[in-house]
Structure 1
Amino acid sequence: MVITGTVGKVGLIGHPVGHSKSPEIWNDAFENQEIPYIYLPFDVSTGDLGSAVSGLKSLGFRGFNVTIPHKVSVMNFLDEIEEEAVEIGAVNTVINDGGRLIGTNTDGEGYIQSLQSETGLTLAGQHIVLLGAGGAARAVGTALAKAGAAQITIANRTMDKAEALASRLQRWTRTNAILLEQIASPLQDASLLVQTTSVGMSPNKEACPIDPELLHSDLLVSDLIYHPRQTRLLKEAKIRGARVHSGLGMLVHQAALAYQRWIGKDAPIKQMMETLDQSLKNE
């Protein structure tokens, strides 16, 4: 594609963003569908967030994705927050609608689409243990609760954040908040373990968020990390006979939902998945 002044612009803001695979996925999809758009990543420090949001608007960006650590604080600089993002308490996608910046969140729905399409799991009635209580946990936890989970136990390093998320999810399901070291008993009775923290992410590939001996064959273990493709947690789960689900699908499905909002077309999900998979294999 020839870059001219008429090329549409979307992008990503976060800190850091150098590791992100999103530019490869998006730009390959644009080329595949012959859409005159470009996707650009921007490393934005916390103190520069407001200026960056204003700058992207002034430069005519159609929208942008938001990643760590800005998913909550970016809400202060937007004109409107959609209900899904309000419920989650975080924004991962911003749409520029004629100069009005609208925040939404595609993480939860993208995760559910990935989990169900890849595992066939029926979420109604599941007993779930959620590792972590940050922005990703809020998005995924909200989606799981609204999908009919029977109970969600939030295990976190600090109790205050676990309790805050448990309180937020109580409107849809039964919840419980525990410290990470108290996970043994709830995990024994769980059917789904969802890992939302950064523990095990490259380059710290040998790190595991819990004692692997606590994993069992009645679990489906889902790790939101996609780099590496198979975390140590997933490897340990497979050794013990558990089913596993990686974070590759969530990254693609949440991106596809943003793609539709920005471009007005269905994203080439299969191709985006292949692009991501090949990129990780080449590292």
Structure 2
Amino acid sequence: MSYAITDETRLTGIIGTPIKQSFSPKIHNKAFGHLNLNYLYIPFDVQQQSLGKTVEAMKTLNFRGFNVTMPHKQEIMKHLDGISEEAKIIGAVNTVVNQQGNLIGYNTDGKGYTRSLKEEGVAINNKTFVIAGAGGAARSVAIQLALDGAKKIILLNRTLQKAHDIAELITKNISDAIIEVNTLENKNLVKALEEADVLVNSTPLGMYSAKDQSIIEDEEIIPAGLVVSDLIYNPAKTKLLQQAENRKCQTVNGLGMLIWQAAIAFELWTQVPMPVDYVKNAILRD
């Protein structure tokens, strides 16, 4: 950064636990420095029992805003002064903006994902999406896809009730959404892929701790022309994405979602667009 931290430095940050693995401080501080904005982004490891006091402290210290990560994305909502309509539907907040002393919650995860697809030339409107997994990320992504006009969303999860919960949430709030649910097993995945335009992996399979695993057992079931998207960004090429490349499919990893959800939060705080290409290249270099 080309400036000293002063009493005019605007504070932002992220709260969650554990927090040391987060890429967010690097993303935001690189962007602030590149644009010569007098902002600072600080990670805070916050336990559940300290959440309320932490939020009050951030308001008292006049933080411009902060991100919220696991396990606080739902619990944070009771400590805020207002919540955006999309965050209400999703039932989770990942970004908070201090608007003249009022803390307003937003959810940028879903918009970050759909923006990352659009940047890769992947259409959403009138397309069929198969989502593997039914956690918080899947919920945000599925809701935003429905809001953006996806033709159909097929949710596959090992615990069927979690998929049903997301489907019910979407159909309750988006009247024209078409949602199907089924268990995540090979025969159901094969059937779903027959009509899919895009496959989305939101499960942990493929992360470094499970880097030799994939939701796909046999890559031969991946149809030609399918777009395969993995929300995992580390490693950049999961086993699933390698399988898809072997089948000559377009692939999209999770780095774009990570950066674009951050970019939306960045602009909410600063009213300045994030230099996305610069940040992405800087992250890849590191």
**TM-score using structure 2 length:** 0.92
C-alpha deviation, 1:207, in angstroms? 2.4
Instruction: State the Cα deviation string for residues 214-238 of structure 1 (Å, max 9, x = none).
Output: 3232310011111111111111111
For 2:183, which of 174, 179, 182 is the aligned residue?
Answer: 179
Deviation sequence 1:74-128 (CA, Å, 0-9, x none):
111111001111122211100011221100111111111110111x122122111
Moved more, 43-52 or 149-158: 43-52
Matched, 1:242 2:244: no
Question: Pick from 265, 280, 283: which aligns with 1:276?
Answer: 283
Q: Which amino acid aligns with 1:176?
A: E
Query: 1:35–1:231: structure 2 CA closer, same or farther, 3 Å change rule?
Result: same
Alignment of 1:140-151 (within 5 A): 140-151=141-152
1:64-103 matched pairs, under 5 angstroms: 64-103=66-105
Contact 1:12 1:64 in 2 (8 A): yes
Amino acid at match of 2:161: D
SS of 1:108 mapped into structure 2: helix
What whole-Å deviation, never above 9, does each CA across 1:179-236 have from its counterpart, x for those lacking one? 1113221123211111122322234322223324332323100111111111111111
Q: Alignment RMSD, CA only? A: 1.5
Moved more, 86-95 or 203-212: 203-212
State the one-letter code of the partner of 1:116. Answer: K
Residues matched between the structures, number? 278
Q: Does 1:264 align with 2:266?
A: no
Residue pairs, 1:1-283, within 5 angstroms = 1-118=3-120, 120-170=121-171, 171=174, 172-181=176-185, 182-213=188-219, 214-279=221-286
User: In structure 2, what residue type is equivalent to 1:27?
Assistant: N
- Name the SS of the counterpart of 1:266 in structure 2: coil
Q: TM-score, normalised by structure 1?
A: 0.93
| Cα distance in 2 between the residues matched to 1:220 and 1:275 | 26
Gaps of 5+ in 2: none
Q: Structure 1 residues 269 and 176 mapped into 2: Cα distance closer, same or farther (>3 Å)?
A: same
Unpaired stretches in structure 1, ≥5 consecutive residues: none
| Cα distance, 1:261 vs structure 2 | 0.8
Note if contact 1:110-1:257 (Cα within 8 Å) is conserved in structure 2: yes
**4+ runs of 1 displaced by more than 6 Å?**
none
1:202/1:53 CA distance change after superposition, 3 Å? farther
